[in-house]
Chain A
Amino acid sequence: MTKRRIADLAFVAFLGIVVLYVYWEAQEWPRGTALFPVGVAIGMGALLLAQALLTVVQARREGPQARDEPIWPDIDPSLARRRAVTTSATFVVMALGVWLLGFPIGGPLVLAAHLLLVMRERLVVSALLIVGSVAAMWALSELLNIPFPDPALPFVSNPF
Chain B
Amino acid sequence: MLEALLTSLDMVSTPSALGYMMIGVLLGLVVGLLPGLGGPVGLAVLLPFTFEMEAIDAFAFLLGMLSVTSTASDITAILFGVPGDSVSAALVMDGHPMAKKGRVGLALGASLSSSLLGALIGAVALAVALPFLRPLVLSFGSPELFMLTILGVTFVAALSEGALLKGLIAGGVGLIVSFVGMDAQSGVVRYAFGQLSLWDGVGLVAVAVGLFAIPELVDLAVSGRSIGESGQRAEDEVVGDEGPAASGQPQSTEVAAAAVGEAGGSADSTTPGGGAAADTLTDHGDIRGVVRGMKATLEHWALMVRCSLIGVFVGIMPGLGGSVAQWVSYAHAVQSSQRPEEFGTGRIEGVIGPGAANNSKEGGSLIPTIAFGVPGSVTMAILLGAFLIQGLTPGPSMVGANLDLTMSFIWFIALANVVAVGLILIAIKPIAMTTRIRGSLLIAPIGLLVLVGAFAEKNAMIDVWIVLVFGLLGLVMHILDWPRPPLLLGLVLGGLAENYLFISVNRYGAEWLGRPIVIGIGILAVAAIAYPLLRGRARRRGLEGAS
Contact = CB atoms under 8 A, between A and B. Distances in A.
A83 B222 contact: yes
Contact of B467 (A54, A95, A103): A95
B445 A129 contact: yes
A74 B166 CA distance: 27
Contacts of B265: none
Given A83-B224, A84-B222, A90-B444, A11 B480 contact: yes
Interface in B416-449: 440-441, 443-445, 447-449
B172 to A, nearest CB: 4
A4 interface: yes
Contact of A103 (B218, B234, B440, B452): B452
Interface in A46-79: 47-48, 50-51, 54, 71-75
A137 B165 CA distance: 43
Contacts of B456: 140, 146
Contacts of B176: 18-19, 22, 37, 40-41, 44
B451 interface: yes
A140 B179 CA distance: 31
Contacts, number: 162
B397 interface: no
Contact of A33 (B34, B41, B188, B467): B188
Interface string B472-487: 1001100110100000
B234 to A, nearest CB: 7
Contact of A92 (B459, B468, B479): B468
B123 interface: no
Interface in A104-139: 107, 110-111, 114-115, 119, 121, 125, 129, 132-133, 136-137
Interface in B475-524: 475-476, 479-480, 482, 494, 497-498, 501-502
B186 A30 contact: yes
Contacts of B461: 99, 149
Interface in B156-202: 165-166, 168-169, 172-173, 175-176, 179, 183, 185-186, 188, 190-191
Given A18-B176, A90-B444, A146-B456, 4 more contacts: A11-B480, A51-B169, A129-B441, A144-B41
26 contacts: A18-B176, A19-B176, A32-B186, A36-B501, A47-B165, A47-B172, A71-B479, A72-B219, A74-B233, A83-B224, A84-B218, A84-B221, A87-B217, A88-B475, A90-B444, A91-B451, A94-B444, A110-B448, A111-B448, A114-B443, A114-B444, A115-B441, A119-B441, A119-B444, A125-B441, A144-B41
- Kindly list the 6 A-B residue pairs having the minimum CB-CB distance in the complex, ordered from nearest: A87-B221, A114-B444, A44-B172, A119-B440, A33-B186, A83-B222
Interface of B: 31, 34, 37, 41, 45, 165-166, 168-169, 172-173, 175-176, 179, 183, 185-186, 188, 190-191, 214, 217-219, 221-224, 233-234, 440-441, 443-445, 447-449, 451-452, 455-456, 459, 461, 464-465, 467-468, 471-472, 475-476, 479-480, 482, 494, 497-498, 501-502
Interface of A: 4, 7-8, 11, 15, 18-19, 22, 25-26, 29-30, 32-33, 36-37, 40-41, 43-44, 47-48, 50-51, 54, 71-75, 80, 83-84, 86-88, 90-92, 94-95, 98-99, 103, 107, 110-111, 114-115, 119, 121, 125, 129, 132-133, 136-137, 140, 144-149
